[in-house]
Chain A
Amino acid sequence: MTSEEIIEKVKSDQGEDIQSAEVNLGDAVLFVAPGAVHKVLGYLKNDSDLNFDYLSHITGADYLNEERDPRFEVVYEFHSMDKNHSIRVRVGLEEEDPTVPTVSDLWRGALYPERELFDMFGFKVTGHPNLIRLIMPEEWGGHPLLKDYPLTIEDIAFSHNRELKQDLVKSKPPTR
């Protein structure tokens, strides 16, 4: 199916659960609220015409600098192995409570990307069997891919003012 046909079909079947749908640069894109994620994705997987049986990836995004509401977003990308088409699902998450339900019961390959979401962005994935840090060490503080997490800390090895050293350690602006 082409992207337009996919969007048509999803709109007619799940019109009340999706926020909007568009074709962006040739890709089918769905916008879904966090509450309806599991239902819509379950439909995408089990519908015989769509048959999105393959999870390509899950990623997060932080739109802090773009003054957007909601600030966070989770992006799912699915393929269908037999039908050879794809869809992208974007789920906006509020800054106060970035929570998204797990889809690892539908696609088992989602287990690790969801743990990565928790590790790198601090999103809570409800229903995930083992939601602990994946890449960073367990005692690590903060979530590196958030925009307000500094890229690097300037390390001052020596200072006469030892008590002021804490103030001297500053976050370094990114180099462009």
Chain B
Amino acid sequence: MSVTEQGLLEREKDSMTLNMGPQHPSTHGVFRIVLEMDGEVVDDAEPHIGFLHTGIEKTSEAKRYAHVIPMTDRLDYLSPPSNNLAFCLTAEKLLQTEIPERANYLRVIMCELARMASHLVWLATHALDIGAMTVFLYCWRERERILDLNEEISGVRMMTSYIRLGGVAKDATPGWLQGVRKFIDYLPAKIDEYERLLTNNPIWIDRTQGIGIMSREEAINWSMSGPVLRASGVDFDLRKQRPYSGYENFDFAVPLGKNGDIYDRYLVRVAEMRESRNIVEQALKKLPTGPYKVDDNKISLPNRNTLKSSMEALIHHFKLVSEGISVPKGETYVPVEGPRGEVGFYIISDGSNVPSRVKLRAPSFMAIPGMCAMMEGCFIADVVGIIGSIDIVMGEVDR
């Protein structure tokens, strides 16, 4: 063996450490990943999280139940209604209240609109990472229309806090429902447009097909959830498997993938957008009339008009505003299907008006170790695609 050959062999063993983040345009937030590289191939990927640790779980232990809801918005900030819903369903399970039908339908409409908005942001940023700039601009165009609807019904573009304990914040106006109707009529053609740009695009296929593969067993073992799990062929959608909030009334399909690669996740999410649109359409058609919040003055504020005539209503109003809702002692966990997967809150109540412990089961947080396992053995250029395909939101990873 000559000296040069030996030198080359020794160099082969060398690996390079590459740092990505926390400020990196394609890590979708403040996510840092340290890659151990062997040439262009990733040997080992170690994530570092916590750069957005907000202490929301700790802060919730000092807030009343109604005050926790706006903070849940800021966890998964791409789809606030799913978080609101998960928190409210958990607290309502402890309170053992029945939610009126109309409130359930309005909740479903909001959640599905948020799912579409979230998937649109995912598609925009994921495509941008891989190099498709046009899709980025197109997706935001549609998202703005959803944000306008959010603003109309709740007053805020993003952090709606629309879903409250015992129902929703206020009733939907006919004008708003018409706006939703217009939007869902407008959307399918636009989804076709994205698909025309991407689905059969050879560059897109080269960058996504056969990359970041996760088998069915691995996906379950790594606790992946949502579209990532379904792209690996696991038929598990909490909306179908454990219907909550009246999802059993809707007829929709659960799109599944076969190979569990980045391309399948793309197909699953795009199909989910179409299914969400169908759910909203059915909800608009079947939207019942009636109250939009429970008629229990221990949980929801009494009607404003009764305050001047009814002593009882005044007392309830005062108690609710000054003291808040007291939730019976106990603990429970309710999962819902958010855009990224299983979102759930584990709430421990000590019987007072302040939760004793609020824990968020965050799909992005559970997906991070699995994502890094996916990266081992792939090329450095594909790391960006894999991060994008998992659709992590750092707000709920770090909480």
The interface of chain B, by Cβ under 8 A from chain A, is 49-50, 53, 55, 57-59, 61-64, 93-94, 96, 220-224, 234, 236, 241-242, 330-333, 335, 342, 344, 346, 348, 350, 353-354, 356-357, 359, 361, 365-366, 368-370, 373, 398-399
Q: Given A77-B346, A144-B55 in contact, is the A135-B369 Cβ separation under 8 Å?
A: no
Q: Is A17 an interface residue (CB 8 A)?
A: no
Cα–Cα distance between A65 and B346 once the two chains are bound (Å): 18
Q: Which residue of the partner chain A has the closest CB to B346?
A: A59
Cα–Cα distance between A88 and B242 once the two chains are bound (Å): 16
Q: Is A84 an interface residue (CB 8 A)?
A: yes
Contact B346 A75 (CB under 8 A): yes
Kindly supply a per-residue 1/0 record for chain A positions 154-171, scoring 1 wherever the CB is within 8 Å of any chain B CB and 0 otherwise. Answer: 000000000000000000
Residues of A within 8 A of B373 (CB): 108
Q: Which residue of the partner chain B has the closest CB to A88?
A: B333
Cα–Cα distance between A84 and B241 once the two chains are bound (Å): 7
Q: Given A108-B369, A145-B57 in contact, is the A53-B221 Cβ separation under 8 Å?
A: yes
Given contacts A24-B331, A151-B59, 5 further A-B contacts (CB under 8 A): A25-B96, A56-B333, A107-B221, A110-B223, A151-B61
Q: Given A81-B220, A137-B50 in contact, is the A25-B332 Cβ separation under 8 Å?
A: yes
6 closest Cβ contacts across the A-B interface?
A: A109-B223, A174-B62, A135-B50, A57-B361, A59-B359, A109-B222
Contact A108 B221 (CB under 8 A): yes
Some 10 contacts from A to B, beta carbons below 8 A apart, are: A54-B220, A55-B223, A56-B333, A59-B359, A77-B333, A88-B333, A109-B222, A134-B50, A176-B63, A176-B354
Partner of B356, one of A25, A66, A84: A66
The interface of chain A, by Cβ under 8 A from chain B, is 24-25, 27, 53-57, 59, 61-63, 65-66, 75, 77, 79, 81, 84, 88, 107-113, 134-137, 144-145, 147, 149, 151, 174-176
Contact A25 B94 (CB under 8 A): yes
Contact A81 B234 (CB under 8 A): yes
Residue among B335, B357, B361 facing the most chain A CB atoms (10 A cut-off): B357
Contact A176 B366 (CB under 8 A): no
Contact B335 A56 (CB under 8 A): yes
Q: Smallest Cβ distance from A72 to chain B, in angstroms?
A: 11
Contact B348 A61 (CB under 8 A): yes
Chain B interface SS verdict (over half)? mixed
Q: Smallest Cβ distance from A84 to chain B, in angstroms?
A: 5
Residues of A within 8 A of B55 (CB): 144, 151
Contact A135 B53 (CB under 8 A): yes
Contact B333 A53 (CB under 8 A): no
Partner of A65, one of B221, B353, B356: B356
Q: Which residue of the partner chain A has the closest CB to B397?
A: A135
Cα–Cα distance between A165 and B250 once the two chains are bound (Å): 62
Residues of B within 8 A of A112 (CB): 365-366, 368-369
Residues of B within 8 A of A75 (CB): 346
Q: Smallest Cβ distance from B334 to chain A, in angstroms?
A: 9
Cα–Cα distance between A53 and B365 once the two chains are bound (Å): 19
Cα–Cα distance between A110 and B222 once the two chains are bound (Å): 8
Q: Given A57-B359, A109-B369, A176-B63 in contact, is the A134-B49 Cβ separation under 8 Å?
A: yes
Cα–Cα distance between A108 and B367 once the two chains are bound (Å): 11
Residues of B within 8 A of A176 (CB): 62-64, 353-354
Contact B333 A27 (CB under 8 A): yes
Q: Which residue of the partner chain B has the closest CB to A137?
A: B50
Q: Given A113-B366, A145-B57, A151-B62 in contact, is the A27-B332 Cβ separation under 8 Å?
A: yes
Q: Which residue of the partner chain A has the closest CB to B332?
A: A25
Cα–Cα distance between A61 and B236 once the two chains are bound (Å): 28
Contact A56 B368 (CB under 8 A): no
Contact B58 A151 (CB under 8 A): yes
Q: Given A81-B220, A109-B222, A174-B61 in contact, is the A56-B361 Cβ separation under 8 Å?
A: yes
Cα–Cα distance between A107 and B234 once the two chains are bound (Å): 17
Residues of B within 8 A of A149 (CB): 58
Residues of A within 8 A of B220 (CB): 53-54, 81
Q: Smallest Cβ distance from A153 to chain B, in angstroms?
A: 12
Residues of B within 8 A of A62 (CB): 357
Cα–Cα distance between A145 and B241 once the two chains are bound (Å): 33
Contact B93 A25 (CB under 8 A): yes
Q: Smallest Cβ distance from B347 to chain A, in angstroms?
A: 11
Q: Which residue of the partner chain A has the closest CB to B398?
A: A135
Q: Which residue of the partner chain B has the closest CB to A172?
A: B62
Contact A109 B366 (CB under 8 A): yes
Residues of A within 8 A of B62 (CB): 151, 174-176
Cα–Cα distance between A153 and B16 once the two chains are bound (Å): 42
Cα–Cα distance between A131 and B342 once the two chains are bound (Å): 26
Cα–Cα distance between A176 and B352 once the two chains are bound (Å): 12
Residues of A within 8 A of B49 (CB): 134-135
Contact B50 A145 (CB under 8 A): no
Q: Smallest Cβ distance from B48 to chain A, in angstroms?
A: 9
Q: Given A24-B332, A65-B356, A109-B366 in contact, is the A136-B350 Cβ separation under 8 Å?
A: no
Q: Smallest Cβ distance from A170 to chain B, in angstroms?
A: 16
Residues of B within 8 A of A109 (CB): 221-224, 366, 369-370
Residue among A61, A65, A176 facing the most chain B CB atoms (10 A cut-off): A176
Residues of A within 8 A of B63 (CB): 176
Residues of A within 8 A of B96 (CB): 25
Q: Which residue of the partner chain B has the closest CB to A120?
A: B57
